[in-house]
Amino acid sequence: MKAVFFDLDGTLFDTLPDIKAAINYALRAYDGEEASDDDIRRYVGRGLRRALAQAAAEKHPADLADENDFSLMFELLISYYMHHPADHAEPYPGIMEMLGHLRSRDIALGVVSNKADSIVQEIVGKLAPGIFSYVSGERRGFPLKPDPSLLLEGLAAAGSSVSEAVYVGDSEVDAETGRRAGIRTVIVSYGFRSEDELAASGIKSMAGSAYKLDEILESIL
């Protein structure tokens, strides 16, 4: 194996508190109800715009007469998040040790996220500087996961084929991304989706902790 690529939220880092703060900032500006931790877990996975749209549908913010109003609301979210990308985010226990083990084996490491690229770069740069050879969030011209385009671009940049790589994620979106890419995929249940939630989507979780994930990757590599 030459490369291991990761989803960001719920896989490498617990970013839930910062996502929640950004979404609730936008909701409060329009007198909407605030979203809970469980709400945010349900919303995330397919990009921040879709997450906010689901939050707005459930939390009844006022004055969203048309798409232009929603776009302004989304701009509030992005502006807040850009100023507070990782106030509370932190690696899951065992993640940094696992990344160190992979780097010691000269494995290329990458991150592919559906979150806005500017925010992804800020988070990774703060929490894991210099570790990943490829980092990308949502970028113009690339569809969101589960489309595998960004993942395939990253693997090409790392000089790896799908047969020489592993993809790690925490959701049904990641499982489908891996399937479409034709890459060996490991799904974890310590992040934003529980083992029961994954099972309800027909997905078998392979790792309940980053320490178990480390063992699995070592066995594959």
Domains of the chain, CATH where assigned = 3-14+89-220 (3.40.50.1000), 16-83 (1.10.150.240)
Instruction: Note the pTM of the prediction, 2 decimals.
Output: 0.93
**Tens digit of pLDDT at every position of the chain (221 positions):** 999 999 999 999 999 999 999 999 999 998 889 999 999 999 998 889 999 999 999 998 877 767 888 999 999 999 999 999 999 999 999 999 999 999 999 999 999 999 999 999 999 999 999 999 999 999 999 999 999 999 999 999 999 999 999 999 999 999 999 999 999 999 999 999 989 989 998 998 889 999 999 999 999 98
At residue 82's C-alpha, the angle toward residues 134 and 51, to 5°, is 85
Give catalytic status of residue 7 as yes or no. yes
Catalytic residue among 7, 14, 18, 214: 7
Angle formed by the axes of helices 149-157 and 172-181, to 10°?
60
Q: How many CB atoms lie within 10 A of CB 202?
A: 8
Q: What is the pLDDT of residue 68?
A: 85
